[in-house]
Structures are given as C-alpha cells and as structure tokens.
Chains A and B, each alone.
Chain A
C-alpha cells in the first residue's frame, strides 16, 4: 500500500471539495427557462434566430436575479415552429408538459389561433411577437402581451400619413395567405375606404404562399391595375426582396410598403439589388434612437459576427421587462406577473420609453407602446421618412 503524501492529501481534499461544491453552485442558480417558439429554419428563420440572440444578450445583462429568496439565471429554450400552426401547437405542448416552460416568446400572429386555447388552459405567459389585433390581445387572454406593434397601430397610425406624404392613391396588397394576411387585407381595404375623399383606392390583392419564390405572374395581374404602392404585409425579408426585384423587372416604378413585417435591413438590399429603392418599412431605424440601441448593435456584431437581426431589439427588451416584472411580483405565477407587468413602464427599451396600451381598442392593457419610425430605401440606403407611429388607446 502506498503512503499518501501530504500534498496528495491536500489535492484530494481540494478536488473532493470542488466536486461537492459543483452541484451546490448549480443548484444555487436555477434556470429560468424562456421558450422561443419561432421559425429557426426556412425563409423566416432570421425572426427566430433574432429572438434567441435577444434573450441571450438580455440574459448577459440581467445576470443572476432573485425571486422569493432563490437565485435564477435566464436560459433560452428554442423550438423551431417554421411559422406553422401545427408545429407551434406541438412545440407549446412540449414546452409546457415536458420541459416545464411557463414563459415563452411565440412568434407569428398566424399561428396564434391554434395556440391560444393551450395558453388559456395553462396560463402560459405568451411574449407575443407579431402583429394582428384584438383577436389575440384581449381580456380573455390575460397572459398574452404583444411586445411588437399591432396591425392596428401600424396601419391606422402610420399608413394614412405615408399615403399623403408620398401622394399614394392606388393601393394593392400582396401578403401571405395565412390568418394575418387575410385579416390585414381587410384592414387595408378599410383604410382605403376611409381615405376615399383623398382619392385613395384599393385596387387589388394577391395572397401568396409563405415559401413561394416566384411572384412574376401574380405581380403581372396586380400591376395591370396600376398601383402606386404594393403593401407586402408580414412577408419576410427574402420574400419582400424578391417581390421588389421581380416587380421592377416587370417595369413597376411605385412603392412597396412592408407594413407588419420585421425586415433585415441589409439582407433586403442584397436580395432586391437596385430594385430595393422605394421599399418602405415601418420599424427600421435609419438613425439610432438611443445609446442602448448602439450598444446592442455593437455587442451583437462582436458576438455573432453580423449586423443585428430585426427581432433582437424587441426580444432583448421583452426579456428584461418580464424578468423585472417577475422580481416585482416576487413570484413566477404567470397571472400575478401579468397584472404587475400591465401596470409597469420600462425605460430600458432600445427604441425609447415603453409602456402598455390597448385598454380601449382591445379591452386589455396588453399592447406595447414605443416610439417607432418609418424608413425608405433610397439609392440602396435606408433614409428616414418623417413619420412616427401614433398612440393607440
């Protein structure tokens, strides 16, 4: 038998001590799981990847936080939904039943019709990223908070001003053939009808497959009605770029308005090339709105080696704001946190001061209100359009 030297003994004790401490330290910081139910592959993948990164950047800034005497750290749990309602239902069931996830981002108004019953049944806290209106955020869904501008905000408080400013009279719609596209085309028709005295007219609509790549023939039908602007609704970046490119090839010289989408500013120009000029987007900042915005852009570039994806900002703010509300509530009970969150304001949003609205329009204070710009591509670069989103009661 070997004699154990004093040095070996000390080393053994140190290793044993470290090993014993490991589970303790892991236990000392439990994971606060935030699901990310979003497309992580396919044409809309940038939306979901951006949310993941927003959560990660926020988690770095939040660090360890305490709730009811326990220490937690934010952890992102991604689920690829491909923006498909069926896959989103499966992902939410897995998150709630298998992974014990009670808070999560769910991207896409078009998938919400399918998941709202599960959200209501389980009290799941839905950090909703998408547009649409009252059908999602309302008094029946107290744990659903829309952290992005709604279709009502984007259309009613932006669109008429842009039509007037750019002298747009004939409007057409080319958006996805899902729930959101079908609902938003009605909103656009409604706006055009309300602006009839200004000479505005809705001239045609085309609903397209989300994964489609060739729009020439459908555009031909639309362009025959001579629109001044084509609203591309929630179509993702690649789709908007291809629509613009193909419409220009057919001789179209008017505007494109990306009303409810989150676009990747640089990628759009890459896809559409010179045809990108005249694309208007409602949430792209041509000039930085806050120092925090710049700081996140810088960190994103260093960490992920590419420009900030469109959903990063809102995902970052949502993560921080929800964690702040949980801390204030002193509990993870989602309905309690929802009550606290609805009454709060948030100064740490990269777009500027954030608060909640929608009491009158939706019957529930669940609609985020932040400053939001409109920008237009001129000579391949985003330039500000002197219009700001209005307030929603």
Chain B
C-alpha cells in the first residue's frame, strides 16, 4: 500500500467520521443527560434528509431557507417528545426504551407513506474535488464535514461554557441534587433533547446531497451512532468525537487494506473489543 493511497483512505475516513459524529453526538447528549437510549434518533436523521428533499427539491425552496426551517421543526419535535413522552416516563428505562422504539416505528411508517418507497436524490450544491497534493477530497463532503465540526465546537461551548450547559452536567451527575440549587431540570432536559434532535436532523441534511435517501436510511445511521457512542463512552462528547473519527478511519483504511466486507466486520470487532477490555469506552466514566 503506497503512502498516497493511505493518505487518501485517511482523508476519506476523517471526512466520513466527521459526518458520523454529528448524529452520534445528539444520541450521546440525550443519553448523557437523561439516560435515555433514544431509538428514534435515526428517524430524526432520516427526516432531516427527507425534509431537505421536500423543501429544496420538491418545493424548490432555497437551501438557506430550507435548513433553518428543518432545524426549527426538529427543535420543536424535541421539546414535544420530551414533554409528552420522556418527562412522563423518566426513570422507567424499559418503558422509555419501548416508547422510543414505538416513536421510531411510527415516524418510519408515516414516512414510507408520505415520501414513497423509491430512492430520492438531492442535487449537489458544491460540486468538484479539492486536490491536496495527490489526495482528492470532494468539496461537498469537505464542506459538510467542516460545518459538522463547527457545530460540534458550538455544542461543546454550550455544554461547557454556559449556565444551561452547567445545569445539563449537574443533571447528568445527579438529578435530585441538581434540583436543589433551583435548576429547572425539565427545561434543561427539553433543551438537551431539542439539541439532540436538531443535530440528528442536520446530520441527515448534510448527507442528503452526498448519498441517495429513503425512509429506511435511519437504521444504518442509528447503528453507526450506537457503535460510536459505545466506543467513545456513553455520554462523553469528547469520546464521541474521537470515536467517530476512529471508526471512520478504521472503516476506510480497513476497506483499503482488507476489502469492503472485512472493513464492515472490523467496525464491530472494534466495538466488541472495547466492550470487553474497556466497557466504559474511550472516555466514558465508570459509574
């Protein structure tokens, strides 16, 4: 394997990893603060992609108008789901698990009916390839990955540099204690879920022009997100970022050296190895 090929695979892995991170972050945020495993998360990712198709392609809205509307809708959906389902079932993990699976199935079924079964495509808005020496990086992927990284930085600032973030981390530590200094835990939980939903929807928005889309695409996304947050450590933002990049690189370098089938298996091997040798993940804490 030549150096050029290795660097090309590395570039593919880093860019893909950055795109995985966005969706996985929402999942880990909701888990970290509310300890809810949100199985409906992949459907938010799918809805982001399908809505960009609906608004940008079918209704011919400009992209600058479509994206804020999608974010606003996903934030509203986040608050609504937190208020009507998560809050009522808080602390009942099994009921919550079943409820999120139910929400996932409802969203997916309605989407198959609403959007149809055929693959859809969103035309690329940034065509062309950036040449970094002999490494080729498609501009649309690079742009999506860069925006994803900016969003990660913003999320990091929210969680670690704002009062709301402080409250989120307080709830993560101990919800009962967090209530004492008059933290509005319900409000903070709502914000966390809304943020998580928005990140998932944006993940879908960014991949829509890169791949073809359909209402079943959420399954693949949530599977990858689970692998990433398990490897990174449940609830850890930094861990999710590191694991996302790591999984992306393992996939790409694995496919280059061993082939596509082996690379697919390699990701699961990484996850199982992590569960066996470091169950808390790369940066998770032992509770």
Q: Interface on A for B, CB 8 Å cutoff?
A: 40-43, 45-46, 49, 177, 206-209, 211-218, 220-221, 224, 236-238, 241-242, 249-251, 267, 270-271, 273-274
Give chain A residues whose Cβ lies under 8 Å from the Cβ of B220.
Answer: 211, 213
Q: Which of B127, B216, B252, B261 contacts A41 (CB 8 A)?
A: B216
Report the Cα distance A207→B260, complex, angstroms.
Answer: 7
Does B91 have its Cβ within 8 Å of any Cβ on chain A?
no
Asked if residues A49 and B117 are in contact (CB atoms below 8 Å), the reply is: yes
A207 with B16, Cβ < 8 A, contacts A40-B117, A42-B214 known: no
A241 with B255, Cβ < 8 A, contacts A46-B118, A49-B117 known: no
Give chain A residues whose Cβ lies under 8 Å from the Cβ of B102.
Answer: none
Of all chain A residues, the one with the shortest Cβ separation from B252 is: A217
A43 with B9, Cβ < 8 A, contacts A221-B255, A251-B136 known: no
Asked if residues A214 and B211 are in contact (CB atoms below 8 Å), the reply is: yes
Does B156 have its Cβ within 8 Å of any Cβ on chain A?
no
Asked if residues A218 and B212 are in contact (CB atoms below 8 Å), the reply is: no
Give chain B residues whose Cβ lies under 8 Å from the Cβ of A208.
Answer: 260-261
Does B5 have its Cβ within 8 Å of any Cβ on chain A?
yes
A43 with B214, Cβ < 8 A, contacts A249-B138, A250-B8 known: yes
> 9 pairs across A/B with beta carbons < 8 Å?
A49-B118, A206-B259, A207-B259, A211-B216, A216-B16, A220-B9, A220-B12, A221-B257, A242-B212
> Would you give the shortest CB distance from B102 to chain A, in whole angstroms?
19
Asked if residues A43 and B211 are in contact (CB atoms below 8 Å), the reply is: no
Give chain A residues whose Cβ lies under 8 Å from the Cβ of B2.
Answer: 224
* New A-B contacts (17) at CB < 8 Å, excluding given A41-B112, A208-B261, A220-B8: A41-B117, A45-B117, A45-B118, A46-B118, A46-B119, A207-B259, A207-B260, A211-B220, A212-B260, A220-B9, A220-B256, A250-B136, A251-B136, A267-B119, A270-B123, A273-B124, A273-B127
Listed from nearest, the 9 A-B pairs whose CB atoms lie closest are A217-B255, A218-B260, A45-B117, A238-B212, A217-B252, A238-B119, A213-B211, A249-B138, A41-B117
A45 with B119, Cβ < 8 A, contacts A220-B9, A249-B136 known: yes
Of all chain A residues, the one with the shortest Cβ separation from B124 is: A273
Report the Cα distance A249→B124, complex, angstroms.
Answer: 13
Give chain B residues whose Cβ lies under 8 Å from the Cβ of A274.
Answer: 127
Report the Cα distance A251→B95, complex, angstroms.
Answer: 51
Give chain B residues whose Cβ lies under 8 Å from the Cβ of A249.
Answer: 129, 136, 138
> Would you give the shortest CB distance from B78 to chain A, in whole angstroms?
26
Give chain A residues whose Cβ lies under 8 Å from the Cβ of B215.
Answer: 41
> Would you give the shortest CB distance from A107 to chain B, in whole angstroms?
14
Asked if residues A220 and B121 are in contact (CB atoms below 8 Å), the reply is: no
Asked if residues A177 and B261 are in contact (CB atoms below 8 Å), the reply is: yes
Asked if residues A217 and B260 are in contact (CB atoms below 8 Å), the reply is: yes
Asked if residues A214 and B112 are in contact (CB atoms below 8 Å), the reply is: no
Give chain B residues whose Cβ lies under 8 Å from the Cβ of A236.
Answer: 119
A217 with B9, Cβ < 8 A, contacts A206-B260, A242-B212, A250-B136 known: yes
Does B104 have its Cβ within 8 Å of any Cβ on chain A?
no
Give chain B residues whose Cβ lies under 8 Å from the Cβ of A221.
Answer: 255-257, 259-260
Asked if residues A224 and B260 are in contact (CB atoms below 8 Å), the reply is: no
- Among residues 1 to 48 in chain B, which have CB atoms less than 8 Å away from a CB atom of chain A? 2, 5, 8-9, 12-13, 16
Report the Cα distance A221→B251, complex, angstroms.
Answer: 13
Total cross-chain contacts (CB, 8 A)? 102
Asked if residues A213 and B212 are in contact (CB atoms below 8 Å), the reply is: yes
> Would you give the shortest CB distance from B24 to chain A, in whole angstroms?
16
Give chain B residues whose Cβ lies under 8 Å from the Cβ of A206.
Answer: 259-261
Of all chain A residues, the one with the shortest Cβ separation from B255 is: A217
Asked if residues B16 and A214 are in contact (CB atoms below 8 Å), the reply is: yes
Does B263 have its Cβ within 8 Å of any Cβ on chain A?
yes
Most buried by A among B13, B216, B254, B263: B216
Q: Interface on B for A, CB 8 Å cutoff?
A: 2, 5, 8-9, 12-13, 16, 112, 117-119, 121, 123-124, 127, 129, 136, 138, 211-212, 214-217, 220, 251-257, 259-261, 263-264
Of all chain A residues, the one with the shortest Cβ separation from B220 is: A211
> Would you give the shortest CB distance from A360 to chain B, in whole angstroms?
35
Of all chain A residues, the one with the shortest Cβ separation from B258 is: A221
Asked if residues B211 and A218 are in contact (CB atoms below 8 Å), the reply is: no
Give chain B residues whose Cβ lies under 8 Å from the Cβ of A42.
Answer: 117, 214, 216
Report the Cα distance A41→B46, complex, angstroms.
Answer: 15
Asked if residues A209 and B264 are in contact (CB atoms below 8 Å), the reply is: yes
Most buried by B among A249, A251, A271: A249
Give chain B residues whose Cβ lies under 8 Å from the Cβ of A241.
Answer: 121, 212
Most buried by A among B13, B112, B211, B215: B211
Report the Cα distance A251→B137, complex, angstroms.
Answer: 10
Of all chain B residues, the one with the shortest Cβ separation from A204 is: B259
Report the Cα distance A251→B138, complex, angstroms.
Answer: 11
Asked if residues A270 and B121 are in contact (CB atoms below 8 Å), the reply is: yes
Give chain B residues whose Cβ lies under 8 Å from the Cβ of A271.
Answer: 119, 121, 212
Give chain B residues whose Cβ lies under 8 Å from the Cβ of A41.
Answer: 112, 117, 214-216
Give chain A residues whose Cβ lies under 8 Å from the Cβ of B217.
Answer: 213
Give chain B residues whose Cβ lies under 8 Å from the Cβ of A218.
Answer: 255, 259-260, 263
Most buried by B among A41, A42, A214, A267: A214
Give chain A residues whose Cβ lies under 8 Å from the Cβ of B16.
Answer: 214, 216
Report the Cα distance A206→B260, complex, angstroms.
Answer: 6
Most buried by B among A43, A206, A274: A43
Report the Cα distance A267→B256, complex, angstroms.
Answer: 29
> Would you give the shortest CB distance from A164 to chain B, in whole angstroms?
30
> Would you give the shortest CB distance from A73 to chain B, in whole angstroms?
26
A220 with B117, Cβ < 8 A, contacts A43-B214, A177-B261 known: no
Report the Cα distance A291→B267, complex, angstroms.
Answer: 53
A237 with B261, Cβ < 8 A, contacts A218-B255, A221-B256 known: no
Give chain B residues whose Cβ lies under 8 Å from the Cβ of A237.
Answer: 119
> Would you give the shortest CB distance from A277 to chain B, in whole angstroms?
14
Report the Cα distance A177→B136, complex, angstroms.
Answer: 27
Asked if residues A273 and B123 are in contact (CB atoms below 8 Å), the reply is: yes
> Would you give the shortest CB distance from A238 to chain B, in whole angstroms?
4
Report the Cα distance A255→B66, complex, angstroms.
Answer: 36
Asked if residues B119 and A220 are in contact (CB atoms below 8 Å), the reply is: no
